[in-house]
Amino acid sequence: MSLVIGVLALQGDVREHAHALEASGATAVGVRRAEELDRCDGLVIPGGESTAMWRLMRAFDLLEPLRKRIEAGLPAYGSCAGMIMLADRIEDGVEGQETIGGIDMTVRRNAFGRQVDSHESTIQFDGRPLEAVFIRAPWVESVGEGVEILGSVERPVHPVEGAPRRIVAVRQGRLMATAFHPELTGDPTVHRYFTELVRQSKNEE
Ligand code: GLN
């Protein structure tokens, strides 16, 4: 059964996600209007800039339709700015910044600090090591009970013995999010994980 997965194409690295989805066996389509979600079995919200994405969603009347679809069970995966968009709560947002929400978590924007705008780290994802690229990335400050922690990283750059691990990948039901950009490394693990989640959700219907 072939799966159609939309990539929200308002802003950010849309094409790289589309390639990674195709490499995981799905058909990827760009989504700019809510009606285009009718043919999608799942949705990827790419990295970019969450404040710009939020303003564009407001301007194009997409915020409420996206909230409704996700509440109704549309599987979604948000990467970096996309993770911020799927968070129920954000820290260090700009004045009035809204999210789509759906995952019971608090995410801190630009959490790794200015000195480490971008970096690559080996993280644990779904119990295995994975090379991950972080670009002005958020991390997850806290999660509610229903949220599964899929991935974490040692605080990068000058790691201190005993420093806390930071949560950088989560799943809650049909929603998942990563603080990093798996579409940039060529490792298919995360996109395969999401494609499998979408397949299972479709089978349940
Ligand atoms: N710092 C960005 C934001 O707040 C996210 C960066 C990214 O998606 N690479 O939206």
- Condensed to tens digits (0 to 9), the pLDDT of residues 36-93 reads 999 999 999 999 999 999 999 999 999 999 999 999 999 999 999 999 999 999 999 9
Q: For residue 161, what pLDDT band results from cuts at 50, 70 and 90?
A: low
Q: Is the pLDDT score of 115 beyond 80?
A: no
Q: Can you say how many angstroms the Cα of residue 178 is from the centroid of all Cα atoms in its chain?
A: 5
CATH number at residue 157: 3.40.50.880
Determine the distance separating the centroid of ligand 1 and the alpha carbon of 197, expressed in angstroms.
Answer: 24
The arithmetic mean of pLDDT across residues 2-18, rounded, is 94
Number of domains within the chain: 1
- Residue nearest (by alpha carbon) to ligand 1 atom 5: 81
Instruction: Dig out the tokens for 145 from the structure.
Output: 């009970």
Radius of gyration for the alpha carbons in the chain, expressed in angstroms and rounded? 16
pLDDT (tens digit, 9 = 90+) per residue, 24-39? Answer: 999 999 999 999 999 9
**Phi and psi of 159, rounded to 5°?**
-60, 135
d(CA 202, CA 184): 27
Q: For residue 118, what pLDDT band results from cuts at 50, 70 and 90?
A: confident
Q: Is the pLDDT score of 157 beyond 90?
A: no
Residue of 11, 110, 112, 140 with the most ligand 1 atoms within 8 Å of its CB, for mutation: 110
Based on the residue annotation, tell me whether 183 is a catalytic residue of this protein: yes
Q: Is the pLDDT score of 191 beyond 60?
A: yes
The ligand 1 site (C-beta within 6 Å) comprises 47-50, 80-81, 84, 109-110, 135-136
What pLDDT score was predicted for residue 162? 59
d(CA 164, CA 111): 14
Q: At what angle do helices 63-71 and 50-59 cross, to 10 degrees?
A: 100
Q: Is residue 113 a contact partner of residue 125, using CB atoms and an 8 Å limit?
A: no
The arithmetic mean of pLDDT across residues 151-177, rounded, is 80
Q: Which domain holds residue 77?
A: 4-204
DSSP string of 45-72, one letter each residue = E-SS-HHHHHHHHHHTT-HHHHHHHHHT
Q: Is residue 87 a contact partner of residue 106, using CB atoms and an 8 Å limit?
A: yes
The arithmetic mean of pLDDT across residues 124-137, rounded, is 93
Determine the distance separating the centroid of ligand 1 and the alpha carbon of 25, expressed in angstroms.
Answer: 27
**Phi and psi of 120, rounded to 5°?**
-115, 135
